[in-house]
């Protein structure tokens, strides 16, 4: 689980990361990665009603946050925003982890 210091909650931060971050599109949705504070990482998740009802959206959010927590050492110094698409409901936790890893690696190039 992500602590509050690792979550992005302000709309201004979401907009900045989506504007300046390197974007990667996958089955999960759009992942934007931007540089952040050097020793920590922050993660934010956007799920629209197109993803599904409240239960489905919250399940997707929890899986993405858990994946970010598992990847914490690899995400140090990064701010990450995941905008989930409709396909995100059918993706397993392990696939989410690998898609986020791929997006972070792509942003490093």
Bridge-based pairing state of the strands 29-35 and 42-47: unpaired
**Per-domain residue ranges of the chain:** 4-108
pLDDT at position 74: 84
Strand partners for 43: 7, 80
- For residue range 33-68, what is the model confidence (pLDDT) as tens digits? 999 888 889 999 999 999 999 999 999 999 999 999
Is 3.30.300.280 the CATH classification of the domain at 4-108? no
Task: Measure the CA–CA gap between 62 and 39, rounded to whole angstroms.
Answer: 23
- Kindly report the average pLDDT of the chain as a whole number: 92
Choose among 103, 39, 28, 34: nearest CA to 72: 39
Strand partners for 47: 84
Are residues 82 and 29 in contact, defined by beta-carbon separation less than 8 angstroms? yes
What predicted TM-score, i.e. pTM, was given to this entire model? 0.90
Task: Measure the CA–CA gap between 31 and 33, rounded to whole angstroms.
Answer: 7
């Amino acid at each position: 689980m992500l602590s509050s210091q690792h979550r992005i909650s302000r709309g201004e931060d979401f907009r900045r990361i989506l504007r300046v971050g390197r974007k990667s599109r996958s089955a999960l949705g759009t992942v934007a990665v931007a540089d952040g504070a050097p020793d920590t990482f922050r993660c934010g998740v956007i799920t629209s009603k197109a993803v599904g009802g409240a239960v489905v959206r919250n399940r997707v959010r929890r899986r993405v946050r858990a994946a970010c927590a598992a990847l914490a050492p690899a995400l140090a110094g990064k701010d990450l925003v995941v905008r989930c698409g409709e396909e995100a409901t059918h993706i397993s936790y392990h696939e989410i982890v690998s898609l986020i890893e791929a997006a972070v690696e792509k942003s490093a190039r």
